[in-house]
């Protein structure tokens, strides 16, 4: 969908026009009251669930959560996935052509924030005729967007589902992001972000950035269970190439990532993560920042997640309780680390299913009242 209304970014930069790539699943009801916005995390996209007829292997990144009969049931809900501004999956981003120069934006693309994404998503909702979402949900960076929705548009979101989230990044998390960015920007093929003109990709930097990130997404127990100290050939070879299975796995993930993700988008998204801190405008008072919200909340954390530890989710819960908000909290003893929000876990999925069954009942009751009126 194309937008000609300028998007004034928090940085002070302005995007005069932009495109948003999105997908929808299920049907919007007559009252337009059953819409669910799913916000993506760092390297995901608008392709939330299902697959394309000509690409059966490209399954949506949250396919185990969203679809007919799944926890977020598309027989009941109209689900929307959006590739955010600055992305590299169809929405306007650094690889898009800047109409002022006729060349890719490259390093000249505006630094974007979670606030900017929420504003763009709200404009998409306007175009689709959706005045209020039954729910806005996301994990990790997507959870931050759900929080920002509850703050910025309290009348337009009935439920916020915040999974494996945090109210802001810790210094350690910012440090991991900076190391990943340095891996990219110091790659000789980066060319100051304008590598498109040189017909190259900073693959080495992207590979390293992905490898660093992937380590933080998994718990120590999960890595030990999956790889242990297994050797690829069954013996130590006394060299600096791949010896251990975990090394092979990280290289594979890095190689795959460098084939499809844009380096400038990686810089933008990790910076948006760094800058997210809604309490900063309220003197560090998270309860005050969340005070405008009228939504009901489901907050979910995973005990083995050391990147966005459960203590960070409990900060959100406490702030909501300080406001006497309607909030449910679950801390799940899953072994997978931060990636647990993407994986199959019977307790986690049962929790989300039960919550959305309540949302569906609320939508049905609201529609009944509306028809009676």
Active-site hit among 46, 47, 336, 338: 338
Q: Exposed/middle/buried for 241, CB within 10 Å: 0-12, 13-18, 19+?
A: exposed
CA angle 255, 256, 260 (to 5 degrees): 115
Residues in the chain: 373
Going by C-alpha positions, the residue among 264, 171, 252, 166 that lies closest to residue 210 is 252
Active-site hit among 96, 140, 219, 301: 140
> Taking a C-beta distance cutoff of 8 angstroms, is the pair 359, 134 a contact?
yes
**How far is C-alpha 238 from the geometric centre of its chain's CA atoms?**
41
The question of whether 140 is a catalytic residue gets the answer yes
> Taking a C-beta distance cutoff of 8 angstroms, is the pair 175, 208 a contact?
no
Active-site hit among 73, 115, 243, 305: 305
Segment (H or E) for 136: strand 135-139
| Helix residue ranges, H only, the chain | 114-127, 141-152, 171-185, 203-217, 220-226, 245-260, 263-275, 286-290, 310-322, 346-372
> Taking a C-beta distance cutoff of 8 angstroms, is the pair 16, 109 a contact?
no
The question of whether 293 is a catalytic residue gets the answer no
The question of whether 230 is a catalytic residue gets the answer no
Going by C-alpha positions, the residue among 107, 25, 43, 42 that lies closest to residue 274 is 42
The C-alpha atoms of residue 157 and residue 296 are separated, in whole angstroms, by 9
CA distances from 23 to 15, 20, 39, 90 (A): 22, 10, 12, 11
Going by C-alpha positions, the residue among 135, 126, 97 that lies closest to residue 19 is 97
Going by C-alpha positions, the residue among 104, 101, 105, 116 that lies closest to residue 149 is 116
| Residues acting as catalytic residues | 140, 305, 338
């Amino acid at each position: 969908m194309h937008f000609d209304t300028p998007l004034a970014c928090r940085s002070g930069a302005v995007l005069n026009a932009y495109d948003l790539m999105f997908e929808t699943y299920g049907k919007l009801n007559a009252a337009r009251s059953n819409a669910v916005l799913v916000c993506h995390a760092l390297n995901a996209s608008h392709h939330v669930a299902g697959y394309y007829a000509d690409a059966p292997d490209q399954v949506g990144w949250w396919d185990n959560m969203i679809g007919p009969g799944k926890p977020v049931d598309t027989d009941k809900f109209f689900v929307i996935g959006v590739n955010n501004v600055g992305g590299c999956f169809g929405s306007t981003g650094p690889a898009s052509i800047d109409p002022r120069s006729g060349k890719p934006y490259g390093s000249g693309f505006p630094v974007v924030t979670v606030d900017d994404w929420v504003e763009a998503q709200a404009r998409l909702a306007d175009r689709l005729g959706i005045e209020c979402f039954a729910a806005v949900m996301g994990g990790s960076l997507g959870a931050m967007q759900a929080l920002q929705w509850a703050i910025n548009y309290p009348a337009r979101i009935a439920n916020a589902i915040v999974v494996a989230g945090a109210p802001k990044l810790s210094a350690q998390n910012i440090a991991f992001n900076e190391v990943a960015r340095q891996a990219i920007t110091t790659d000789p093929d980066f060319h100051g972000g304008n590598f498109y003109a040189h017909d190259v990709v900073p693959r080495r930097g992207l590979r390293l950035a992905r490898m660093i990130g992937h380590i933080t997404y998994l718990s120590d127990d999960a890595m030990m269970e999956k790889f242990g100290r297994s050797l690829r050939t069954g013996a130590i070879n006394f060299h600096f190439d791949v010896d251990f299975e975990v090394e092979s796995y990280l290289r594979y993930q890095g190689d795959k990532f460098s084939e499809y993700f844009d380096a400038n988008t990686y810089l933008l998204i990790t910076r948006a993560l760094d800058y997210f801190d809604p309490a900063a405008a309220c003197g560090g008072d998270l309860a005050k920042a969340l005070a405008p919200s009228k939504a009901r909340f489901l907050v979910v954390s995973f005990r083995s997640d050391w990147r966005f530890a459960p203590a960070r989710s409990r900060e959100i819960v406490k702030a909501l309780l300080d406001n006497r908000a309607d909030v449910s909290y679950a801390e799940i003893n899953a072994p997978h680390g931060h990636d647990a929000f993407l994986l199959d876990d019977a307790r986690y999925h049962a929790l989300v299913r039960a919550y959305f069954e309540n949302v569906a009942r609320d939508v049905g009751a609201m529609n009944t009242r509306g028809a009676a009126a």
